[in-house]
Amino acid sequence: MKYRILSTSPTFGYYAFEPFEYLKSHDCKVELVPQDKKLSERELIGEVTKYDAMIAGTNKITESIIRASKRLRVIAKHGAGIDNIDVKAASNRGIVILNTPGANSNSVADLAIGLIISLARKIPFADRCVREGGWPRIVGIDLSGKTLGIIGLGQIGKKVAKRALGFDMKVLAYDIFEDKDFARQLGVTYLSLDEVIAESDFLSIHIPMTPLTRQLIGRRELELMKRKAFLINISRGDVVDEERLYQALKEKRIQGAALDVFSSEPPKGSPLLMLDNVIVSPHVGGITFEALRETGMMCAHGIIDILEGRQPHNVVNPEVLK
C-alpha cells in the first residue's frame, strides 16, 4: 500500500463501508481506532508519525500532535465542526484541513424536529410511565401556531425551518449572515438575537463552536426566554452555559430542554441528567446510515485528491494549497 491513513472517528468505516473501500481501492491502508477506545494526546503523538492522512472524530488534534507528524499531509474532519483541531498549527506545517459541511444536515434537522415533538408531547415521559405500569393522561401542546426560533440559519437551520413550516409553525431566525431570498421565499423572519430568544416557544441552536459563540446562551439570554419556552441544543455543548441552564430548568424559569450535546461528553455527573424536564441523547444528530455514508465519502474523496495532487473541496485552510 502506498498511503497509510488513521481514523480516530468512532463511526468512520463501521456503518457505511463504501468510503473505506474507496480508500483501499486507491492504494491506501486504513487503520481504525476501535470504537470503545479514545487515544490520548500522548498516544496520538506516538502514532501520528506513521501516517499520510488522518480522519478525525471528536478527539482533540492539538499542536503537539501536529508537530509530531512527519508525513501527515491532510486531516479530514468526519463532520463539519473543526473546533477540536488546531487549524493554525496545521497550516504552519502545511497540512490541509478538510471538513464535511452539509453532509449530515438532513439527519441533524430530523433529530431537531424529533426533539421538538418529544418536548411538546412529553414522549420519553409517556414511554417510561407505560413501561412502569402506568396509563396517565399526559397533556401536551400543539406545534401548529407556535413560534420556533432558530439561532444559526445555515444549511441545517434552513432544513429545520422547512420542516417546522410543515407543522404550521411561525419561524424566526437569527444569523450574522442573512439569506434574505430564502427568508422571503419561505416566510421566515430575521430578528435580533434577543428578539428571537424572547419571542420563541421553541428555541433551536444550530451554530458552530467558536470563541464568539462559547456560552452564547447564558443567564441573561435564559432570562429573556418565555417561562413556557423550550430550548433545543443540537450544535455544541459549550454554546450553552450548562450551569445557568440547570438553574433555569430546576427553578422552572423555562419549561424544558432537549440536549444532544454537552460541554463534556459523555456528561457523567451532570446535574442536568437529574431533571425530569430535560430530554437527552448521546450526540447522535448526524448519525444515520445515509449521513455517515455521505460524510465518509466526502472525507475519502478529499484525502485522495490531496494525496494525488488534485484540488479538493471543503478546504478549511486554503492558504496552505498556495
Give me 255's grid cell: 419549561
- Annotated catalytic residue: which of 265, 308, 310, 313? 265
- Annotated catalytic residue: which of 236, 244, 294, 301? 236
Quick count: other Cβ atoms within 10 Å of Cβ 200? 25
**What does each C-alpha distance from 171 to 68, 75, 213, 257, 314 come to in angstroms?**
48, 37, 22, 18, 29
Note if 283 is an active site residue.
Answer: yes
**Cα-only R_g, the chain:** 21
Note if 265 is an active site residue.
Answer: yes
Note if 163 is an active site residue.
Answer: no
- Annotated catalytic residue: which of 73, 206, 244, 283? 283
Please provide the distance, in angstroms rounded to a whole number, between the alpha carbons at the two ends of the chain. Answer: 28
Q: Can you list the alpha helix ranges (DSSP code H) found in the chain?
A: 18-25, 41-47, 63-68, 87-92, 105-121, 123-131, 155-165, 180-186, 193-199, 219-224, 242-250, 289-307
Question: What 8-state DSSP symbol labels residue 297?
Answer: H
SS3 label, residue 150: strand
- Strands 28-32 and 230-233 turn out to be unpaired
Give the residue among 33, 100, 32 at the shortest CA–CA distance from 301: 100
> Which residues have a catalytic role annotated?
236, 265, 283
